[in-house]
Chain A
Amino acid sequence: ETGVTQTPRHLVMGMTNKKSLKCEQHLGHNAMYWYKQSAKKPLELMFVYNFKEQTENNSVPSRFSPECPNSSHLFLHLHTLQPEDSALYLCASSQDRRATGLNQPQHFGDGTRLSIL
């Protein structure tokens, strides 16, 4: 299997539930990202991990908790979400830019469509 795989593809949860989104990449990359995509808004970067270390937290509420156990896996733990958190959550990966000093292409998964009741 190649590319970036996200599970589940769809998730419906109540505001008091706890759930997790999973992302796995088979591209040998060492940087991984979480984005939020809402209708008519730009993709919003949430978190960046480089070599399993979090290097960016874009002022994301604490009800979203990322975890990166290794360079191939990334999780987003969700708890007590709000209706406005309903969106498509995209995971991406890339080579770390520090090797070349240049931005590297980011490869996206197909996302998890999250609906908060």
Chain B
Amino acid sequence: QQQVKQSPQSLIVQKGGISIINCAYENTAFDYFPWYQQFPGKGPALLIAIRPDVSEKKEGRFTISFNKSAKQFSLHIMDSQPGDSATYFCAAGKERTDKLIFGTGTRLQVFP
């Protein structure tokens, strides 16, 4: 019940295409859903986050779609660029704690 399931494990997209990464959770106590981007040799960096009171959040080329009833959320990267090549992690934060539960990560490769 504490898990966050992330798919796919790896993703190859052509430049200009749309990258889509999906996550699912079981615990309805989660109330915060961030996405992190990690480049090799670097720590994860917060990309975008959503709370369950909205169904979508957009920041530039990055969009989170959130489906509360299905307990799923996804990251869409529009007009994917080679510089977006990185590992992406979804996470879920539990109410009344500072804990984050992370997914297993998706390695995205964007080819020119």
Residues of A within 8 A of B (CB): 4, 6, 31, 33, 40-43, 45, 48, 50, 55-56, 90, 92, 94, 96-97, 102-111
Contact = CB atoms under 8 A, between A and B. Distances in A.
A46 to B, nearest CB: 11
A107 B34 CA distance: 12
Contact of A105 (B9, B43, B49, B104): B49
Interface string B17-39: 00000000000000110101000
A108 B46 CA distance: 9
A90 to B, nearest CB: 5
B98 A31 contact: yes
B102 A43 contact: yes
Given A40-B104, A43-B89, A105-B34, A97 B98 contact: yes
A74 B89 CA distance: 24
Interface of B: 4, 9, 31-32, 34, 36, 41-46, 49, 51, 89, 93, 97-105
A110 B42 contact: yes
- Residue among A42, A45, A48, A94 having the largest count of chain B Cβ atoms under 10 Å: A42
Given A102-B31, A107-B46, 16 more contacts: A4-B43, A40-B9, A42-B4, A42-B89, A42-B103, A42-B104, A43-B100, A48-B99, A50-B98, A56-B97, A92-B43, A94-B98, A97-B98, A105-B49, A108-B44, A110-B43
